[in-house]
A and B are shown apart, each in its own frame.
Chain A
Amino acid sequence: MSRFPLDLGSPGWEYAPAPEARTVARLDAGAQGRLFIGGTWQDAADGATFPTHSPATDEHLADVALAGGTDVDRAVAAARAALPAWSGLPGAERAKLLFRLARMLQERAREFAVLEVLDNGKPIRETRDFDVPTAAAHLFHHAGWADKLDHAGLGPAPRPVGVVGAIVPWNFPLLMLAWKVAPALASGSTVVLKPAETTPLTALRFAELCEQADLPPGVLNVVTGAGATGAALVRHPGVDKIAFTGSTAVGKDIQRTLAGTDRRLTLELGGKAANIVFADAPIDETIEGIVDGIFFNQGHVCCAGSRLLVEEPVHDLVVERLTRRIGTLRLGDPLDKNTDVGAINSPAQLARIRELADVGEAEGAQRWTADCPLPERGNWFPPTVFTGVSQSSRIAQEEIFGPVLSVLTFRTPDEAVTKANNTPYGLSAGIWTEKGARILWMADRLRAGVVWANTFNRFDPASPFGGVKESGFGREGGRQGLHAYLEPSADRGGIDG
């Protein structure tokens, strides 16, 4: 190997560090620590704040206002006050404002991408190539709906649902914001957004974008905080609809809280997706799909393909090829453009992943861990694969929400379907086979809101996304997703009215 002046370590050379400049995130540029209510930046009524850290380095990034009940009251009142004018604005005008937001987000894409990396810990490759462009695409798609609501399938002149309380998780902070804010604003509704505790920064930056775009005050309000802030928003009688993405446990709490209130609710909750590999799968792309399915965003994905179901004859082969491939993943500085796997979002999440991985081992599954050095500071967990996992094992049943894959086997398509469906969840599923008829047969039978065949973890603003069973209800994306933010026209009548 000395013939070449390269550091040629197997399996490949080491890429020189290629870090994105963190200054692009403009972390020191004021305002981002305060609440955005009624078009103004406010401290929390009681002055409380909480810190947000970089998961990759433990570095303190900013102190952010901790919204309490009074702040949530104010935000809901601001959203209510803004509602008549916003919903009364001609759809075409709302559309232009949304298009403007989409374009401005694209213009400042690099800034948002870097800021998301700092706050979330995911690799810049993902925020740059996925989170930010997809968020902009959602705004762009829904902008076009704003003046076409008559064609959404709810009859003429549907009404906006009203004041929306949007509660988004930490795994895709900006993208989940866009999934909720875009259709809400297109419908003529106004929004109080509660970002996740550990990832508030891109939401606040997005509020700045709305300010810059001249979105009317109160149409989008951002209240940062923790669980209590979200709970105050959920309980608030001035909110007409809650749109929540997060854990199944919290989703159930929200559904209970709203019991008997007639307030509308959509829930996008957890999952334990089966990714099903048949012997005739396109093997190289399948291996890539498995990797995408579980290591995308460190496995912090509700629809992650965390249960790999492999047809028995190819089990050893798939595991062999998969582990070889995982061995080439680059874990480390998420700002490095060549990093494939970033940091675990929080110490709490890291503890949960460690606990479940230990349980997997204790339950007798074989643990394989990628041989990659972990940075000394920050929250890190190496890509991990468990083989010999039984259906009853906790790592085959519980959502780990980390870079941990459980491998099980099946013998027949029926068995694959049965095992895949044997979970209270039902968010997504994957099928890998070259046989078209089998794909359609499987897709019919899998109890999941999204079925990816010969691909995985694909998302699009025109494509409805959401779960069945305890993975939640309601859809996000496309015409059907828009329904969650609309009420049929009051004079449409009918026995349901």
Chain B
Amino acid sequence: MTAPVAALLSVRGLVKRFPGVTALQGVDFEVRAGEVHCLLGQNGAGKSTLIKVLSGAHRPDEGEIYWRGELVSFGNPTAAMRSGVAAIYQELDLVAGLSVADNVFLGHELSTMGFSQRAEARRRTRALLDLLGHPEISPDRDVGQLSVAHQQVVSMARALSLDGQLLIMDEPSAVLDPDEVRVLFGVIRELTARGVAVVYISHRLAEIREIGDRVTVLKDGRTVATGLSAREVKTSELIALMTGRVLDNVFPDRKPVAPDAPEVLVVRGLGDGDRFRDVDFTVRSGEVVGLAGLVGSGRSEILETVYGARKAADGTVEVNGRALRRGSVGAAVRAGMGLCPEERKSQGLLLDQAVYRNITVSSLSSFARFGFLDDRAERARSGRLTEALDVRPAGVDRVVRGLSGGNQQKVVLARWLLRECRVLLLDEPTRGVDVGARSEIYELIRELADSGVAVVVVSSDIEEVLGLADRVLVLREGRVVHDGPADEIDESQVLDLVMEGHAA
């Protein structure tokens, strides 16, 4: 850097701990007025936590935030907004049912002596929307009826309504189509020309090159590089920074899948009419197939559709040669399928119930005679499974909520082990699981495959997909763009495929 430019925002040594995890462990970077500063990092690198700390939603445990040269501490998002820092989250925080103007001034309504100044709010909203290049949005429209792109514009107007100087945008393009992204970039350029700084988060390297000025890379909660030129830095360098690992997970050895192993799961032409289409793949007995792709690439949706939790619009799913009824979880489970869902707590577990009840919930009829449950047999079978999987602390009467993420995942796995399922679908099997338990779960999955189960793994951790799977399918925007053996492709090739759609 030649001439030092005064930083608008400067962050030093930021640390944020949550029970059991340190999400940020030393983040440094600075943002200048009028620049687009890109934050890059893999899932779990700490980007979302960083945004929440900067926008006042979380308080940091250590470290300093300087705003216009002064040490600050934002107690809550409104305080941050009043100082001029506003975040636009992936999940837009707008209230459907209220008008555009009401949303823009939500939390800092214009009023005199308690009476709201609706005309003034409308006038200022219109001015902001004009500024953002969207005069066609009426301040009186119900926000719930706007397109996602327009809702984003309203969110930006809201951020600017308090004289925002720094906008933090968390993957704004993830929900937009290419035309809308172009419009968004136009707005961003307009803002930066006026001296507003933007912190832009995206997985898409092409976008970062187009809109960004400088790049900061986060990995495992730390800044690994900052102030890189967005246009000049090499793709390979960015990928190396994002992926270079301190802690390597040990993946179990693969056994070659017998070429004559039966095709247990056959998916043909699957589509949901929306997020993905024409998905074909087969999984043999003993084979682990990994699905890699970005958030929004349709990977979880595909898994849920195969399982019948979402209704397919096209295509067929066959298990052992028999087609399953569309949109029926019951049919899938009866055919020998099991799913460990992405959101373990909200989709997988009965959190306030005992371990054994969570394990037997899918096999109740096998413990029942004329509908009456054999409690003792349930506990005994669950006990043997939890022992075999080394669920700690032991005890089938424990409430699942109290277990760690890794042990909760083992409980979900035990549920399907109990059923002796033939096809196991795993969505983010190690999310929220610490490193030690991770390798145990990897080994478990491998053992299952070796015993003849057909396994499908979805993960946003590319290394995990490559290390665990025999074969990898790469998804991009709801289509399979690559299908091949896992040992013939490396992490950067996959990253290139998911981000740009063609192998480097």
A, B in one complex: no
